[in-house]
Amino acid sequence: QSLEPLPMGGPDFGALGEEAELVEVEPEAKQEILENKDVVVQHVHFDGLGRTKDDIIMYEISDVFKAKNLIDVMRKSHEAREKLLRLGIFRQVEVLIDTCQGDDALPNGLDVIFEVTELRRLTGSYNTMVGNNEGSMVLGLKFPNLFGRAEKVTFQFSYGTKETSYGLSFFKPQPGNFERNFSVNLYKVTGQFPWSSLRETDRGISTEFNFPIWKTNHTLKWEGVWRELGCLARTASFSVREESGHSLKSSLSHAMVIDSRNSSILPRRGALLKINQELAGYTGGDVSFLKEDFEFQLNKQLIWDLVFSASLWGGMLVPIGDKPSSIADFYLGGPTSVRGFSMYSIGPQSEGDYLGGEAYWAGGLHLYTPLPFRPGRGGFGDLFRTHFFLNAGNLCNLNYGDGPRAHLQKLAEYIRWSYGTGIVLRLGNIARLELNYCFPMGVQSGDRICDGVQFGAGIRFL
């Protein structure tokens, strides 16, 4: 909700007396007068606070006292309101600006009043969630503002078409710097992966520390996972049966993100760079590897509401020691990556089961256009876009004794690629749906293709 203006009973900072009736001030001139008129914020009041501590509130509204003119007061009050809502502890925040009252009131003194409504101690939610070509029903319980400083405990249960999971998490932000936060997660995830004839159950604990540096966001994470693999069918290949059983992974990871896109789902401009590193085995567990992967995306708005988008993904996994590290292999193919191929059906396979690989790359070019004849322009029709795409990529295992040149040569062999066109539907800022007509090319023996119509749903697309 927008910031409310000064009450009608406030003082007149413009002309006084009869001159006010004779002088006509243009809107730009009025704003200039307000910007140049010095004011002082003497008091900030809060109505509706219950269990929230004063110190975290002071961190969020401290800039209001630094305002020097009326426009600045309104701007900084609005920014403070946004910060308070971002804490996730208030259902509603209203702002009022009034002249200062009382014996200590200055002629140019102002009071800023925040009227807040705190969330209940326990809240519940029910919604649906779209993952990468998977839908889920999600039930959640949340204890917001647990200790009065924006901490929260969340329990979540998710039942999906391929995965079932539940988890418990604790989240605590740093007062005055919400982007710097700490969280602990306990979870259990059970999933079925028919492309590999695998059933997987993960029981894990993780701790995360998120913090910004300049224009980048960083995440440091430790994760311990007890993984149980089983065969989904009696026809599972020997390679899959060989991987069945229990394993324990303990890993340290770091992620860096630079994101200037105007939307994470269907951007029109901006760029994304995401780099991840994970090291397993040095903090315990029976699997050891070093894993690196990255994601880059560039979006440019052209004439006639056209948008050009280019993206590049890549990654490499280096096993450490003698035990295989398929616990962290990459998979490629499907409506969210290299379109025209079935889900994760590119790369090494055994008796029809796809095993993933140690290295991959994938690239995509897109041209997004409005729907022909612009039906529903300015409304529902703006959620749809037509796009033309060209995708390419490869997934393979590497012989790490051969050197970088041999690795690049192997990644450049047997490139799968596809092209086509389709319709994209943006579901708010939550997910997107694609209905494409695909022409897969560069198909290799063992690949499963989807020649023709292919449907995709998710949040991360090549």
User: Could you tell me the residue ranges of all domains in the chain?
Assistant: 19-118, 194-458
Q: CA 278 to CA 222: how far, in whole Å? A: 9
What DSSP letter does each residue of 18-71 carry, written as one string? Answer: THHHH----HHHHHHHHHHSB-EEEEEEEES-SS--HHHHHHHHGGGGG--BHH
Q: CA 274 to CA 396: how far, in whole Å? A: 22
Sign of the four-CA dihedral 346, 352, 354, 360? negative
In order of 34, 36, 308, the CA distances from 28 in angstroms are 10, 12, 38
394, amino acid identity: N
Residue 316 CB partners (closer than 8 Å, separation 6+): 291, 292, 293, 358, 359, 398, 407
What does DSSP say about strands 384-396 and 359-369: parallel, antiparallel, or unpaired? antiparallel
pLDDT at 406: 82
Please give the radius of gyration of the chain, using alpha carbons only, rounded to the nearest integer: 28
CA angle 453, 454, 457 (to 5 degrees): 145
440, amino acid identity: P
Within 13 Å, how many C-alpha atoms sit on residue 442's CB side? Answer: 20
What does DSSP say about strands 109-118 and 40-47: parallel, antiparallel, or unpaired? parallel
Q: CA 1 to CA 82: how far, in whole Å? A: 10
Structure token digits, residue 172:
């605590």
pLDDT at 7: 36
Structure token digits, residue 348:
């090494």
Answer yes or no: same fold for 19-118 and 194-458: no
In order of 212, 312, 391, 413, the CA distances from 407 in angstroms are 34, 18, 21, 10
Please state at what angle helix 27-36 crosses helix 70-86, rounded to 10 degrees. 80
H or E stretch covering 416: strand 416-427
CA angle 297, 302, 307 (to 5 degrees): 45
Report the length, in residues, of the chain.
462
Residue carrying the six token digits 């040569």:
409
H or E stretch covering 94: strand 90-99
Architecture of the domain made up of 194-458: Beta Barrel (2.40)
Beta bridge partners of 314: 294, 361
**DSSP 8-state code for residue 120:** P
pLDDT at 427: 86
Beta bridge partners of 51: none
Checking phi first, is residue 229 left (phi over 0); if not, alpha (psi -120 to 50) or beta?
beta
Query: Considering only the top CATH level, what class is 19-118?
Result: alpha beta
Structure token digits, residue 426:
């943006």
SS3 460: coil
Q: CA 69 to CA 31: how far, in whole Å? A: 11
Cβ pair 396, 354 in contact under 8 A: no
Residue 24 CB partners (closer than 8 Å, separation 6+): none
SS3 179: strand
Per-residue pLDDT of the chain (462 residues; tens, 9 = 90+): 333 333 333 433 343 333 334 444 455 554 555 556 788 888 899 999 999 999 999 999 999 998 888 889 999 999 999 999 999 999 999 999 888 887 788 888 889 999 999 999 999 988 887 777 777 889 999 999 999 999 999 999 999 888 899 999 999 999 888 999 999 999 999 988 888 888 999 999 999 999 999 889 999 999 999 999 888 888 888 888 888 889 899 999 999 999 999 988 899 999 999 999 999 988 888 888 999 999 999 999 998 889 999 999 999 998 887 766 666 689 999 999 999 999 999 988 888 889 889 999 999 999 999 988 777 777 777 889 999 999 999 998 888 777 778 888 888 888 999 999 999 999 888 889 999 999 999 898 888 998 899 999 888 898
Which residue from 195, 232, 236, 192 is spatially nearest to 354, judged by alpha carbons? 195
**DSSP 8-state code for residue 85:** H
Residue carrying the six token digits 């730009």:
28
What does DSSP say about strands 216-231 and 198-213: parallel, antiparallel, or unpaired? antiparallel
Structure token digits, residue 389:
């795409």
Q: CA 95 to CA 76: how far, in whole Å? A: 11
75 phi, psi to nearest 5 deg: -65, -50
